[in-house]
Amino acid sequence: MGKPDKEAMKALRKQRKAYIDRAQQEMKKQRKLIKAIKEQIKDEPKTVPRIASEAKLQADQVLLYVAALRKYGQVVEVDKDGDYFTYKLDAEA
Amino acid sequence: MKETLRLQYDALVIGGGIAGLQSALDLADQDFKVAVIEKDATIGGKMIRLSKVFPTLDCASCITTPKMAAAAHHDNIDLFTYCEVNSLDRSQGRLKASITQKPRYVDPDKCIGCRQCEYQCPVYVPDQEQGGFNLRKAVYIPFSNAIPQLALIDVEHCALCGKCAKVCPTEAIDYFQQPEDFVIEAKTAVLATGFKLTPMDQKKEYGQGQIPNVISSLQMERLLAPHGPYQRVIRPSDGKEPDSIAYVQCAGSRDLSLGISYCSRVCCMYAIKQAMLLSGALPLADITIYYMDIRAFGKGYEQFFQNAKAMGIEFVKAKVGRIEQGENHNVLLRIEEQEGDGRVVRREHDLVVLSLGMVPDWNPAGICPVGTGDDAFIKCVRPKLAPTLTEMEGVFVAGVAAGPKDIVDTIAEAGAAAMEASNYLNSSASGRAA
């Protein structure tokens, strides 16, 4: 598909408004969450419970986003600390 | 008005899992033209999503991927993924299937599977391919060995920001794509529509899917897979490496309260397999299987069970009555022992796996005149002598679509269904598709 027609895109946005609004709200929340996680692990590797406790987030949410950031090459797993693995931002990302 | 596309084949296979692929390959190797219809965006079915198979502990992907590639590259097979079958009727000696191609919002002729769209997309969505333990993007390729390697857009989560279209090197993104109906005509068909697990949320006593560290057996398959959500086994609530893992057998089978009276036949063996894999991945972890009976009926299965016991996996003959959230994300089980004095005891584990049973993934009602049994699986009209025959002439059934069975039996039955279809084609007067 070449560059879509402006009017057609406008009509499509109107048609999918409910989905788009929901996706945009979700995106906002996700950006905030990812920023908070990245902030925690930019200088030193941390475990999921430590990130969750210091960023005041839920541990399962932190693990979900750490897993996704790892998948998309932004976070790496480092060492083990007790029963937990630690994660840090990938310097090359 | 646009005319509906009509395609002619010798055989139609509904379902692109291991049963459908085996039937399609066996028919195609006999020079019949075969169309495979798959509802997902990739072929491979449940098997491509497994870690390893019992009792050999071969890598599931190493067996399935070559079959997927063979089907994709076979001159006599055409794959139709991301399609729904609306109806399958017989008239004037031919089967007619009405099919809808669901929109991917990506031009399949242009997409090169480079994933640049996926990397640029700003919206994260829970990835059900990884048991919900990881995220994908709103535009995505299902997994790394998906066939075909084509992206698709999940419009319900798409913000229509245009980033994917901007980075696509082949201008493949098409936000305006619509569903397209087409018709396939064939002389015979094989139904290989597979199964799904019994839902997690049905049993109140087991937490109805609300306890974070109570997971399904297919979720555990993903945790054990090399390309799993965490690339290791950790528990989903907080990332702890579990020291104590329990399996609850018959969690969705042999349970009249769920309306499932039958045994799903594979749960004992997959639980033993997973327990053995966990012993390898987490050598210090305690692994317990709470069971009513162990059904190790296939070739080499009893030895596999004995090996698991020798490895130190604890088998406790007991019925789990209740599962509750414990402290520190742990899970509390209330069990009634079925050996000794039959007492009720409480045990605590880091992670609990429900060995859920199998239910059919497709109901033919309203689509084709093929009957189902009391268990809702497709009815076989001659279960002993010709177990792949259905109530519809020239339509055969293969794999778990006909009832719970393991991969070995599924592949054998898929071969049998292909031979029945082949005999049917050879005995018919009108010959092969052009």
**Read out DSSP for B114-136?**
--HHHHH---EEE-GGGTTSSEE
Q: Could you tell me which CATH class the domain B5-102+179-194+361-427 is placed in? A: alpha beta
Q: What is the pLDDT of residue A58?
A: 98
Nearest alpha carbon to residue B262 among B389, B376, B352, B362: B376
Cα separation values, B379 from B114, B370, B396, B400, B411, Å: 43, 8, 10, 12, 19
The contact set of A with B (CB < 8 A) is 1-2, 4, 8-9, 12-13, 16, 19-20, 22-24, 26-27, 30-31, 47-49, 52, 59-60, 63-68, 70-72, 77, 80, 83-85
Q: Please report, for chain B, the start and end positions of each structural domain, with discontinuous segments joined by +.
A: 5-102+179-194+361-427, 103-177, 198-358
Q: What is the pLDDT of residue B433?
A: 52
For chain A (93 residues), the mean pLDDT of every run of 10, in chain order, is: 81 97 97 98 97 98 98 96 97 76
- Nearest chain A residue to B229 by CA distance is A67
Q: Does B159 touch chain A (CB under 8 A)?
A: yes
Q: What is the pLDDT of residue B80?
A: 98
Beta bridge partners of B183: B6, B98
Phi, psi of B182 (to 5 degrees): -150, 170
**Best B240, B241, B328, B351 residue to mutate vs chain A (most A CBs within 10 Å):** B240
Q: Extract the residue ranges of chain B whose pLDDT is less than 50.
A: 434
In angstroms, how far is the first alpha carbon of chain A from the final one? Answer: 31
Phi, psi of B300 (to 5 degrees): 80, 0
B residues 196-255 closer than 8 Å to A (CB) = 212, 229-232, 234, 236-241, 243
Give CA–CA dist B412/A63, Å, rounded.
Answer: 41
Domain topology for B103-177: Alpha-Beta Plaits (3.30.70)
**E strand or H helix that includes residue A34:** helix A17-41
The domains spanning B5-102+179-194+361-427 and B198-358 adopt the same CATH topology: yes
- On chain B, the residues whose CB falls within 8 A of the CB of A26 are 123-124, 157
Q: What is the 3-state secondary structure (H, E, C) of B211-263?
A: CCCEEEHHHHHHHHCCCCCCCCCCCCCCCECCCEEEEECCCCCCEHHHCECCC
- On chain B, the residues whose CB falls within 8 A of the CB of A5 are none
Size of interface A-B (CB pairs under 8 A): 100
Q: What is the pLDDT of residue B434?
A: 44
Tell me the per-residue pLDDT of B335-393, one tens digit each, with 9 for 90 and over. 999 988 889 999 999 999 999 999 999 999 999 999 999 999 999 999 999 999 999 99
- Residue B401: Cβ within 10 Å count: 30
DSSP secondary structure string for all residues of B263-292: --SSHHHHHHHHHHHHHHHSTT-EEEEEES
For residues B8-34, b (16+ Cβ closer than 10 Å) or e, as one string?
ebbbbbbbbbbbbbbbbbbbbebebbb
Q: What is the pLDDT of residue B47?
A: 98
Q: Please report, for chain A, the start and end positions of each structural domain, with discontinuous segments joined by +.
A: 6-89
Q: Thinking of the domain A6-89, which architecture would CATH place it in?
A: Orthogonal Bundle (1.10)
Rounded to 5°, angle at Cα B130 from A26 and B214: 95
Taking an 8 Å cut-off on Cβ atoms, the answer to whether B175 and A9 are in contact is yes
B residues 301-360 closer than 8 Å to A (CB) = 329
3-class secondary-structure state, position B384:
coil
Rounded to a whole number, what is the distance in Å from the CA of A85 to chain B's nearest CA? Answer: 7
| CATH superfamily of the B198-358 domain | FAD/NAD(P)-binding domain (3.50.50.60)
